[in-house]
Amino acid sequence: MVSLKDIAKQAGVSVCAVSLVLNGKYKNRVSDTTAQHIRETAASLHYEPNMLARTLKTNKSHTLGFVTDEIITTPSAVRIMLGAQEAARKLGYILISMNTNNDKSLERQEIATLKRYHADGFLYAFMYHRVVDVPSALRSMPTVVVDAEDANHDLPSIYPDEFGIGYDATNRLIKAGCRRIAYFGSESGIIAQPQRLAGYRKALHDAGMNDDPQLIVRATEHQNADERAVELLKVAAPDGVFCFNDVRASSIYAAANELGMRIGKDISIVSVDNLPNITDALRPGLTTIELPHYEMGFEAVCQLVAMIEQRDKPDIKPDQMFRSSFDTKDTFTTVHGSIIERDSVQHAPHGNE
């Protein structure tokens, strides 16, 4: 590997001059001609700076630790990592990811490793939105919580705007002319459940519609969801259903088929997730709200770097279409999802067909 010393020798100057020039700090310190000469020599030798040596001296590694629970299980959650990677690259950082597999002792070990490698800050990320206790080893470091909320309301946390998702999804159905809109939710204690439900209620209320309790049904995936879906369609006779997620939407599809209801005609459906394997399989295409995972990872790195470098949040954007919008209040940031329009919502209001 070629070092500053090699360049200095070849160019006939001191190591210090080379360092100054290559870091662009040579104003009034090195003549422009010498600087140019140094730059050319460096290029001709294919010089690459040694980040480790630099870190040793400056105490800045430009390395971010990405600690996650088991991000694998939801393919879309992997996008948090990809978004974080893109932002890191654009800001001159690298990401070191570690998977804790929900093992607290492994987590401690991994955070210690990351510190040994001198990570400047941490992303603490989760597979789905929840409230988390952040390990104390992270509290002393710049840290941003992703797809989760710090239980202490202390660290910046980025997570989806679940209320907004429920509100938007329901409104989409209202806009399509639906008059009896059901909510097909989750039976688990997941944080998104009550928030999406609240958004649903607010949308109904704003439209002057009452929320008939018959229209609200909760179910568990791969267990009672198929039967509950049939019951919901039979008993409450909705003309629109906001589904907690795509998996539950597929139960509603099955129920509608069973009862001879035409999706996108007799009944409109909007859900959340946009999981390829599911949306690929459903006919007609499922209109669904994609959670902004990529954007959350990207935004989290921007906020983290701002903390580390004690500067304003960098003004960069993902190369991918930036579909979502951000709301920032205090240190918390919620991220809107974006609706993917397909054909499960009827195109014209009732009576226009």
Site residues, DNA (CB under 7 A): 1, 3-5, 12-17, 19-20, 22-23, 25, 28-32, 34, 49-50, 53-54, 56-58
Q: Which is nearer to a copy of itself, 104 or 222 (CB)?
A: 222
Applying the rule CB under 8 A, the residues between 66 and 105 that interact with a copy of itself are 72, 75, 78-79, 81-82, 85, 89, 94-99
How far is it, in rounded angstroms, from Cα 181 to Cα 252? 13
Question: Which stretch, 166-174, 256-264, 272-280, 336-344, contacts a copy of itself (CB under 8 A)?
Answer: 272-280
CB within 8 Å of 179: residues ≥ 6 apart: 209, 239, 240, 350
Own/partner contacts of 55-60, CB < 8 Å, gap of 24 or more, are 55/118, 60/120
**Residue 331, contacted partner among a copy of itself, DNA, none, CB below 5-8 A by kind:** none
Applying the rule CB under 8 A, the residues between 200 and 259 that interact with a copy of itself are 221-222, 247, 250
How far is it, in rounded angstroms, from Cα 253 to Cα 28? 71
Say which amino acid occupies 353. Answer: E
Q: Which three-class secondary structure state does DSSP give residue 109?
A: helix
State the DSSP code for 102.
T
Output the smallest distance, CB 119 to DNA, in A: 15
Among the listed residues 141, 278, 289, 291, the single contact to a copy of itself using CB under 8 A: 278
Q: How many residues bind a copy of itself (CB under 8 A)?
A: 40
How far is it, in rounded angstroms, from Cα 143 to Cα 241? 39
Alpha helices per DSSP H over the chain: 4-11, 15-22, 32-44, 51-58, 78-90, 104-116, 136-139, 162-175, 192-206, 225-236, 246-258, 276-281, 293-309
How far is it, in rounded angstroms, from Cα 111 to Cα 109? 6
Question: Which stretch, 31-39, 115-123, 141-149, 236-244, contacts a copy of itself (CB under 8 A)?
Answer: 115-123
Output the smallest distance, CB 329 to a copy of itself, in A: 31
Q: Which is nearer to DNA, 112 or 281 (CB)?
A: 112
**Residue 22, contacted partner among a copy of itself, DNA, none, CB below 5-8 A by kind:** DNA
How far is it, in rounded angstroms, from Cα 196 to Cα 169? 9
Q: Which is nearer to DNA, 22 or 82 (CB)?
A: 22
Burial of 24 (0-12, 13-18, 19+ CB in 10 A): exposed
How far is it, in rounded angstroms, from Cα 244 to Cα 273? 9
Output the smallest distance, CB 89 to DNA, in A: 19
Q: Which is nearer to DNA, 46 or 104 (CB)?
A: 46
Residues that bind a copy of itself (CB under 8 A): 48-53, 55-56, 61, 63, 72, 75, 78-79, 81-82, 85, 89, 94-99, 110, 112-113, 115-118, 221-222, 247, 250, 275, 277-278, 280-281
